[in-house]
Structure 1
Amino acid sequence: MDREELLIYIVSDSIGETAEQVAKASVSQFLFDNYEIRRFPFINEKQQISEMIEEAKQQRSIIIFTMVVQELKDYLVEESSKANIPSIDIMSPIIQGLSDVLKSTPKREPGLIRKLDEKYFKKVEAIEFAVKYDDGKDPRGLKKADIVLIGISRTSKTPLSMYLAHKNIKVANVPLVPEVAPPKELFEIPSKKVIGLTTNPMKLIEIRQERLKALGLKSEANYASIERILEELEYADDIMKRLGCPVLDVSSKAVEESASIILEIFREIGYKLINGR
């Protein structure tokens, strides 16, 4: 059995993780373990390829690559052929197949999958943040948030927090209740990152009555009375005036529309969201 060492060169204009995993999976199909994998990531110059080829031709080698920049890919294939080193292009057949089916031209931009992964994890982080700091659970989250929503019960604080989280924005929300003083942290953060949510009292009566029915409670409860709602709205209005924050009436707006307005408010006042666009 051939025991001469094989050097497997992984070459990529990104990190090269895909090519390395394919190489490992492929070599595992052989009763051969005398090999070494050398990864050459972030190749963006012909000189780097030349140096790699010079090293590879000194020993028994094979090059496995994922290159999307056409000029560099062509140069690698040409130089490896001159040096009699087998080279295997992993991505081109797949990209070409997709291009044929989609009737579209590939971007030819390195590292896009990594950028997509980063965006995904930022979204997950923002969603976890919204859950952790929902409904005033932990006021310490107010200083970490990109946006803080405040308002009385049933003013769409939680749905808006989750919707904005899917746009990679970290949102905390605080319920305003006359019997409970708002957390001191609310007055320690920039008022321009706070959005007050209000609503029409008659609309709120309907919403709260439906909520009570869903819970199997009587709709005449104080929670859905006009007196209680007006008291809560007045209290919330006082807090919002003290903060000097923008106020959004969500009475007849869908969550998507309210979220769009919130983002527009932030653009207008020039407040930079940590994870926003």
Structure 2
Amino acid sequence: MNKKEVVYVVSDSVGETAEFVVKAVATQFNGGQVDIRRSSYVEDHEDIEDVIILARQTKSIIAYTIVIQDLKKYLDRRAAEEGIMAVDLLNPLLSAFTKKFDKDPNNQPGMMRKLDDDYFRKIEAIEFAVKYDDGRDPRGVLRADIVLAGVSRTSKTPLSMYLAHKRFKVANVPLVPEVKPPDELFKVPRGKVVGLIISPDKLNEIRKERLKALGLTSQANYASYERILEELDYAEKIMKRVGCPIINVSNKAVEETASQILDILKSERSSN
């Protein structure tokens, strides 16, 4: 490739896939000196005709990722008529998938972009859960899709991460008698807040195990029955002030509690 050749990249979506493939191939020829001109979101014959005219004038290759069959057939036909080399980057693999899975493709443009958007929403939700974990920044309470409130060791953090993987932005707020809850907790729409409680016996057991894992004595105030009753009583008073639904997480798996939270969220939305 002694000069900078022109390749027209045509897609009924963004065209990033086609451009990436063209660049990858171009690197095999004298350093990849190729002028890629992208034509995205083609939606009718007129769009394709514009590319055909340009490619004919510059004697260029057309590389395309088009899944709308009418547009694909039109491009193939017009390229053949004009003597233009047009390369379908998707069809060989689509045909292989069709034969292997005995199923026809959806032929809907932009599916990869939808998957990417879904992925990035998940990553954003995970980052949100980390940033606003354990009441670190009360501003997250007002920005969250779901707010979890409860005493220590009621699975607030695991639930936040689990729900984040389902693309919900979750903030959680610890309820401790010595620490005034953030004002934001009382400003959140009631349907977004869920209180988490647990039986005193179960919490005592969990906290003792936690202290043991940290190499501390199980007699510490953190795990004392009196302290636990005080915290649970305080937490329930705050939850009543907020007016939020309450879930008892005793002996519940994270998945089970998360399912209940989502059911509550769905119920609240449908009633508004």
Verify same fold: TM over 0.5.
yes
Distance 1:210 1:54, change over 3 A: same
Q: Retained in 2: the 8 A contact 1:13–1:41?
A: yes
What are the residue-to-residue correspondences of 1:89-238 with 2, within 5 Å?
89-238=88-237
Partner deviation per Cα, 1:75-99 (whole Å, 9 max, x = no partner): 1111110111111111111122223
Match of 1:14, SS state, is coil
CA distance in 1, matches of 2:51, 2:79: 10
Q: How much has 1:176 moved relative to structure 2?
A: 0.5
Distance 1:75 1:222, change over 3 A: same
Partner deviation per Cα, 1:32-72 (whole Å, 9 max, x = no partner): 87753221111121221123213322231211101112221
Match of 1:25 in 2: 24
Q: Retained in 1: the 8 A contact 2:2–2:30?
A: no
CA distance in 2, matches of 1:251, 1:35: 63
**TM-score (ref. length: structure 1):** 0.91
CA distance in 1, matches of 2:31, 2:208: 72
Match of 1:36 in 2: 35
Q: Retained in 1: the 8 A contact 2:196–2:247?
A: yes
Q: Retained in 2: the 8 A contact 1:192–1:271?
A: no
Match of 1:58, SS state, is helix
More off after superposition, 49-58 vs 110-119: 49-58
Match of 2:194, SS state, is strand
CA distance in 1, matches of 2:36, 2:236: 65
Distance 1:185 1:79, change over 3 A: same
Match of 1:262, SS state, is helix
Match of 1:59 in 2: 58
Match of 2:244 in 1: 245
CA distance in 2, matches of 1:271, 1:185: 24
Fraction of identical pairs, as percent: 56
User: How many residues are matched?
Assistant: 271
Q: Retained in 1: the 8 A contact 2:26–2:33?
A: no
CA distance in 2, matches of 1:70, 1:105: 12
* Runs (5+) with no aligned partner, structure 1: 273-277
* Runs (5+) with no aligned partner, structure 2: none
Q: Retained in 2: the 8 A contact 1:193–1:271?
A: no
Q: How much has 1:2 moved relative to structure 2?
A: 7.0
Asked whether 1:71 is paired with 2:66, we answer no
Root-mean-square deviation (CA, aligned residues, Å) is 2.0
Match of 1:259 in 2: 258
**TM-score (ref. length: structure 2):** 0.93
